[in-house]
Amino acid sequence: MNERYYICDKDNNEIVYGYIDYNRLHGFKIKPGNNIPYEGVEVSRLVLVEPYLIKNVLKRKITHKLDVYLSFLFTVIDDDDEDPDDLELVIDDVKRYKSIIMNKYSKFLDKKYIKGLLKKVGMVELELKEKLKELSKQNVKTSGKSR
């Protein structure tokens, strides 16, 4: 199945139209997440081929995801009556994110950056596990037999 692609040339200010086989193209594949309706070209997926661009996009995605995890971690630490089930779901999500980093992102980023990133994610996971242990201890103490 041929799909339409557009190439913008900076020098000539021309748009080149054509078809490309995405199955043979190696790069980082992205599905845009914006759901804002607009007139014009609708992008259903994007394949980044240039290494510099891939690194920039991945680092931005990683920074955003780490900020989300850290903000959740701070709200969990500050909140005393957190539900352990929600915490377990977030821990599972962090584990899934670690596997994505090791399997998918390690192809495009250098080993030093991946190692530092896994260390940061591991620290977040460790803090969440400690909070889960603390909550489970509190639940055991409160659910004990009373006379």
Residue 56's pLDDT is 92
Spatial neighbors of 100 by CB under 8 A, at least 6 apart, are none
- Report CA Rg, the chain: 22
The answer, yes or no, to whether residue 30 has pLDDT greater than 80, is yes
Band of pLDDT at residue 31, cut at 50, 70 and 90: confident
DSSP alpha helix (H) spans, the chain: 51-78, 84-103, 111-142
d(CA 36, CA 85): 33
Q: Give the residue, 130 or 70, on which the prediction is more confident.
A: 130
Whole-structure pTM value: 0.67
Coil, helix or strand for 39? coil
Strand 14-20 and strand 46-48: the pairing is unpaired
Mean per-residue pLDDT, 89-115: 88
